[in-house]
Amino acid sequence: MNMKMKLLLVPALALISGAGLWAQATKVALINMQQAIANTQEGKTQIAELEKKYTPKQQEFQKRASDIQAKEDSFKKMQNTLSDEAKAQQAADITKLKTNLQRDGDDAEADSQADEQKMLQDIGGKIVAAVTKYAQDNQIMLVFDVSSQPNNLICCASAPDITKEVIALYDKTNSGGSAAAPSTPAAKPPAQAPARQTPAAPARPPAAGPGK
């Protein structure tokens, strides 16, 4: 299951400060922060954990929605043969099922978003640290995030994309290994990154009220 992720709100432009360190730094580089977060080993692991946690809920909501639809279809076929009291009771039962499903879906979505934000804040902070170190080691003055929206970047087409290098540095730094960065950034221009596969929030159930 693909869960929609509210990806980390990072600045479109990451400014690496410190005049003394950057007297000779003139280079510009690009990074896809969404791709970087999703493709670290830690990111992959935590996304998989979120999918494992919320996939059963998604399946439960789909089953409940299907059952409600079946009850509505049956009610439509039989309502002309039912007494007014029986029709009112069945309509009330269907409305209650829809209301409960809507409430449970909203609660699960809120829980999913809270878990996602907690994960992204943790990984995002460490990604920024890895970007800072990589930029320092390679005399890069400015790093633009091409995944931020809106993306107003209209130049720097030949600037190196350091996404893969930052992912590698992040994994090395956060797995107990040395934090030394590669000696040079990638020389190729950035390509548009494919959409990341991320967990989807629980589907919203149908609105309350029986079908007519």
Report, as an integer, the average pLDDT of 37-62.
94
User: Which domains does the chain possess?
Assistant: 13-173 (3.30.910.20)
Question: Distance (Å, rounded) from C-alpha 176 to C-alpha 37?
Answer: 18
User: Mean pLDDT of all residues in the chain?
Assistant: 76
Contact (Cβ atoms closer than 8 angstroms) between residue 8 and residue 149: no
Burial 101-122 (b: 16+ CB within 10 A, else e): bbebbeebbeebeebbbebbee
Q: Using an 8 Å Cβ cutoff, are 190 and 159 in contact?
A: yes
Query: Tens digit of pLDDT for each residue in 73-108?
Result: 999 999 889 999 999 999 999 999 999 999 999 999
* Closest CA relative to residue 46, chosen from 129, 122, 128, 110: 122
The reply to whether the predicted model has a pTM over 0.85 is: no
How far is residue 76's CA from residue 91's CA, in Å, rounded to a whole number?
A: 10
Range from 62-66, 108-112, 183-187, 203-207 carrying the lowest mean pLDDT:
183-187
